[in-house]
Amino acid sequence: MSSVDVLVAGGGGFIGGHLVADLLRQGLSVRSVDVKPLDEWYQVHGEAQNVQADLSLLDHALEQTDGARQVYLLAADMGGMGFIENNKALCMLTVLTSTHLLQGAQRAGAERVFFSSSACVYAADKQTDAHITALREADAYPAMPEDGYGWEKLFTERMCRHFSEDFGLTTRVARYHNVYGPNGTWTGGREKAPAAVCRKIATAVITGDHSIDIWGDGEQTRSFMYIDDCVSGSQMIMNGESAVPVNLGSSELVSINQLYSIVEDIAGIKCTRNYQLDAPQGVRGRNSDNTQILETYGWEPSISLADGLAKTYAWVYDEVKRSLG
């Protein structure tokens, strides 16, 4: 393979597509790889090397890491809470992709590897209250992460650490907290809460049916990070000097009910809410403690939830309108 500045594994995904775009804007050469056919990628950038390959296979991973100076390990089989809770084995199988990419990066002599971990690594007993104290990096241990997806993420964090210790491979780990924005999944079961909320409200506006379903009682809490902050923060961590996992997210905590209210205000409507108490809800409360990233990098998100949701809603609205004809 030819040499490139950056390999983005999972480049056909939501975060990967935005990351590839930003790297290309900086004048870097990029190899974007995803298991999906190109016509299913969220974004395809003509300036990049766009490759369909199954990175869970060792020979594919070795081929695609060859010649890459930096590797962003974003590839994962995942989705929103409904998908994660009902597909634990598929989520765990991502460990094959993670393992083989680390092996490939090490053999290729890559300068650095960035791994996108998740807030799902945090112990469940730290997230039982909607008014929970924000999660610190140390709260991942003693380990009891979210079943399936969370265990795979925590295991790969450990692999990154040991590849660094044993092989000298420089690795960086960020724990993402609920990334959202345009050009991502907004329907079909894999979408996350902000996109799902935007879709429901947009559908209500377009159809005139202002009755919507909400999973749970709506009082579960989360924080959400806009995609632009995720892309800039990921690159900062990749090129930084700290090897320990760090939270990358917003500390702006809201309930799901508040999330709906913000999008209703953006759309200019009020909806009747039907609460589905037997639907997947995930943990009761989750928020990002940003003390470590502030101390290490002097960084915090620059885009408020209201501003990010306004941009996301505008994009989702157009997608819903197009789908409804």
Query: 282 and 237 in one domain?
Result: no
Residues 194-207 have pLDDT tens digits of: 999 999 999 999 99
Q: Is the pLDDT confidence value at 226 over 70?
A: yes
Mean pLDDT of the chain: 94
* Percentage of residues of the chain with pLDDT beyond 90: 85
Whether residue 142 is preceded by a cis peptide bond, meaning omega within 30 degrees of 0, is yes
- Note whether residue 33 is domain-resident: yes
Based on the domain organization, do 265 and 309 belong to the same domain? yes
Mean pLDDT of 294-320: 97
pLDDT at residue 80 tops 80: no
This prediction has a pTM of 0.94
Render pLDDT for 236-259 as a digit per residue (tens, 0 to 9): 999 999 999 999 999 999 999 999
> Residue 68 sits in which domain range?
4-179+226-248
Query: Is 50 part of any domain?
Result: yes
Asked whether residue 167 falls in the same domain as residue 270, the answer is no
**Spatial distance between the Cα atoms of 313 and 308, rounded to a whole number of angstroms:** 9
The pair of three-digit structure tokens given for residue 302, joined into one six-digit string: 């620059």
149 included as an active-site residue: yes
Looking up residue 27, the CATH number of its domain turns out to be 3.40.50.720
Tell me what pLDDT residue 130 has. Answer: 67
Q: Are residues 127 and 191 in the same domain?
A: no
Same domain, 123 and 185: no
Angle at 175 (CA atoms; ends 57, 223), nearest 5 degrees: 130
Same-domain pairing of 143 and 206: no
- pLDDT greater than 90 at residue 285: no
pLDDT of 129 over the 80 cut: no
Alpha-carbon distance 25 to 18, whole Å? 11
| 138 and 198 both lie in a single domain | no
Q: What is the rounded distance in angstroms from the CA atom of residue 240 to the CA atom of residue 181?
A: 25
The answer to whether residue 295 sits within a structural domain is: no
Of 286, 285, 174, which is closest to residue 230 (Cα–Cα)? 174
pLDDT band at 81 (very low <50, low <70, confident <90, very high): low
| C-alpha dihedral (76, 81, 83, 84), degrees to nearest 10 | 50
How many domains does the chain contain in total?
A: 2
Contact 260, 91 (CB under 8 A): no
The two three-digit tokens of residue 32, written as one number: 């974007």
> CA-based angle 75:236:94, to the nearest 5?
15
Examine the domain organization and report whether 78 and 206 are in the same domain: no
What digits encode the pLDDT tens for the residues 227-236? 999 999 999 9
Predicted pLDDT at 171: 98
Tell me, yes or no, whether 207 lies in a domain.
yes
pLDDT of the residue at 188: 87
- Can you tell me the mean pLDDT for 266-274? 97
Please, which residues bridge with residue 113 across strands?
71, 171
Check whether residue 216 and residue 270 sit in a common domain. Answer: yes
CA distances from 204 to 137, 212, 213, 271, 317 (A): 39, 8, 11, 8, 10
Model confidence at 192: pLDDT above 90: no
Is the pLDDT reported for residue 82 higher than 80?
no
Length in residues, the chain: 325
CATH code of the domain in which 270 resides: 3.90.25.10
Q: Is the pLDDT of residue 174 over 70?
A: yes
Select which of 42, 122, 149, 260 is catalytic: 149
pLDDT digits (tens, 9 = 90+) for 147-158: 999 999 999 999
In the predicted model, what is the mean pLDDT of residues 16-42?
98
Percentage helix, strand, coil for the chain under 3-state DSSP, each rounded to 5: 45, 20, 40
β-bridge pairing 179-180 and 68-73:
unpaired
Q: How much is the average pLDDT of 112-127? A: 90
For the residues 179-187, what does the mean pLDDT come to?
95
pLDDT at 144 over 70: yes
What are all long-range contacts of 236-242, with beta carbons under 8 Å and residues at least 24 apart?
A: 236/297, 236/299, 237/114, 237/172, 237/173, 237/174, 237/297, 238/70, 238/72, 238/112, 238/114, 238/172, 239/112, 240/172, 240/296, 240/297, 242/172, 242/296, 242/297
Asked whether residue 125 carries a pLDDT value surpassing 80, the answer given is: no
Torsion of CA 216, 83, 120, 236, to 10 degrees: -120
Count of C-beta atoms within a 10 Å radius of residue 111: 12
144 and 199 assigned to the same domain: no
